[in-house]
Amino acid sequence: MKTAIEATTPEAEDSPEALVEAFCADVARVEREMHKRIVGQDETLRGVITCLLAGGHALLEGVPGLGKTLMVRTLADVLDLRFNRIQFTPDLMPADIVGTNVLTESVDGAHRVEFREGPVFANVVLADEVNRATPKTQSALLEVMQEHSVTVSGKTRQLAEPYLVLATQNPLEMEGTYPLPEAQLDRFLLKLEVRFPSREDLHGILERTTGSATDDLRAVLDAPRILAMRRVVREVAVARHVRDYAIRLLTATHPEDPSAPEPVRRFVRFGASPRGAQACLLAARVRALLARRFAVAAEDLREVLKPALRHRLILNFEGEAEGVAPDSLLEAVMKAVPERAD
């Protein structure tokens, strides 16, 4: 008898339609399991799953108590993957997260140096309150997130695939925090804003968390299936005019570009990097599959533009002083850039 994880795995020779149906079925099973514990937050939940399937990382930003950590732990519970949590604090050192060489003594008195793995050696890593660590420790994540490897004492060790870093941060409490550098922000595929729940969602949260009922979660996806789904994502077609639309959206975030709308020219110091266009296309491919299409449409790009680029815009002094929201600038970009070039 097939296990739940194996049930929807398509054959290699299946048609694109079959691949899409199997893909959507597996995502639906993940969301169904997660909603046993998570109430509402559909947009954030879909964004986290998008990062998992696109092969990127996610930064979850929201005030305390909105369930950011719970969402990540729940995702780990429904995946048959190794999970580690790192609670970032100001005294955390790089060796505390990536690992270090230690001198050990065997029973016969012989000494040797061996490597002790840090908590980044997992498939799903929760970097909780990542902005509480010092820049030195934050930078230790750069190689991990980009290369999926750790280098200690000149030796590089590869991490197991799939690899996903989900970081959380509180946007309100600034005391004792260190803003993430632009180079590290650029490594996150999406920045997801965790919104305050609606009144109806609050009823559900209170009912589940203050009552006696509990729902047991089961793992519905394993590593081979996730890697297979990532390959399907990479096969989704992107027409040249759609790719050109992504490029024009990206370049319009640069204040010196002729297509940049007035708010961008006024409030932005630097626009999004080319990695932002890569993030848009990868996330749009996942969205197209979930819409049961094997080709990316312009609407897919517009849907993912904000989470893919909001953390890649660097505001100038005026923009910072006036508290301009990056999302409002991206709204202006979408209004100013036509789907097709003239």
**146-171 pLDDT per residue, tens:** 888 888 888 888 898 999 999 988 87
Please report the pLDDT score of residue 342 as a whole number.
Answer: 67
Beta bridge mates, 104 = 112
Q: Of 64-68, 112-116, 317-321, which range is least confident?
A: 64-68
Indicate if the pLDDT at residue 331 is higher than 90: yes
The kind and range of the H/E element at 83 are: strand 83-87
Please report the pLDDT score of residue 176 as a whole number.
Answer: 60
Indicate if the pLDDT at residue 53 is higher than 90: yes
Instruction: For 195-219, write each residue's pLDDT tens digit.
Output: 887 888 787 878 777 766 666 788 8
Please report the pLDDT score of residue 1 as a whole number.
Answer: 34
158 dihedral zone (left: phi>0; alpha: psi -120 to 50; beta): beta
Instruction: For 227-242, write each residue's pLDDT tens digit.
Output: 999 999 999 999 999 9
Residue 234 contacts residue 251 (beta carbons within 8 Å): no
Indicate if the pLDDT at residue 338 is higher than 80: yes
Indicate if the pLDDT at residue 174 is higher than 80: no
Which domains are seen in the chain, by residue range?
Answer: 10-94+120-235 (3.40.50.300), 237-342 (1.10.8.80)
Question: Regarding predicted confidence, which is higher, 215 or 97?
Answer: 97
Q: First and final CA of the chain: distance in angstroms?
A: 57
Tell me what the mean pLDDT of segment 184-194 comes to. Answer: 90
* Residue 35, Cβ density class (10 Å: 0-12 exposed, 13-18 middle, ≥19 buried): middle
Tell me what the mean pLDDT of segment 31-47 comes to. Answer: 86
Indicate if the pLDDT at residue 2 is higher than 60: no
Indicate if the pLDDT at residue 7 is higher than 60: no
CB under 8 Å to 326, separation ≥6 — which residues? 306, 309, 310, 311, 313, 315
Beta bridge mates, 267 = none
Residue 157 contacts residue 194 (beta carbons within 8 Å): no
* pTM (2 d.p.): 0.87
Please report the pLDDT score of residue 302 as a whole number.
Answer: 95
